[in-house]
Each structure stands twice: as structure tokens, then as C-alpha cells.
Amino acid sequence: MKQALEQAQRMQQGLVRIQEELAGARVEGSAGGLKATVTGQGELVGISIPPEALEGADPDLLEDMILAAVRDAVEKSRELQAARMRDLGMPSLGGLL
């Protein structure tokens, strides 16, 4: 029983460490020259739109590119989360971190 409790405490400490690492990590996604940046936890922290993307841009296309860049960044963030969970020897929690 003591061994199981110690293992649970180590896993909890590992989860806290991973959460801190993910909060500080930055992941970038892109689409059509636009870039979206999210934390390792999936929080959107930046959008970069180069000036040439705005010249004569179709608003609908620009919106689609922004969404695609954000989705790309979020997907990469989820992949990072899953990799960190595997490093800890745990299955992915499906974005619960």
C-alpha cells in the first residue's frame, strides 16, 4: 500500500511539472503565411499576419487562413501534451492538462 501511495505521489509531482512546462512552452501553427502561437496547454497567445497577406485579401479567405493556422497550432499543442504524458508513462488525458 505504501508503495502505491509513493507511486501516486510521484505521478502527481510529474503532472505538476508537466503542467508548468506546457504553460511555458510555445507552439506555432501556420497556414498561407499566417502564424498562430499557442502555449503547450493550447491557449492562443499570438497571431502574426504578414503585410503582404492583407494586400487585396479576400476577408473570407483571410478568416479561413487564420482558423487553419490556429487549428494547426492547437493540434501541435495536443501532440506535445500527449508526448509529455507518454514521457511520464501515462496515457494522454485528451486535453485535460
CATH number at residue 18: 3.30.1310.10
Looking at the DSSP assignment, which residues form a beta bridge with residue 30?
35
Cα torsion 40, 41, 46, 50: sign: positive
Q: How many CB atoms lie within 10 A of CB 5?
A: 9
Determine, yes or no, domain membership for 96. no
Confirm whether 59 is domain-assigned: yes
Residue 51 cell numbers, joined? 503585410
Q: What is the pLDDT tens value at each position of the chain, 97 positions in all?
A: 888 888 888 888 888 889 999 999 999 999 999 999 999 999 999 999 999 888 888 999 999 999 999 999 999 999 999 998 888 776 655 555 4
Let me know if residue 95 belongs to a domain.
no
DSSP state of 51: H
| Number of domains composing the chain | 1
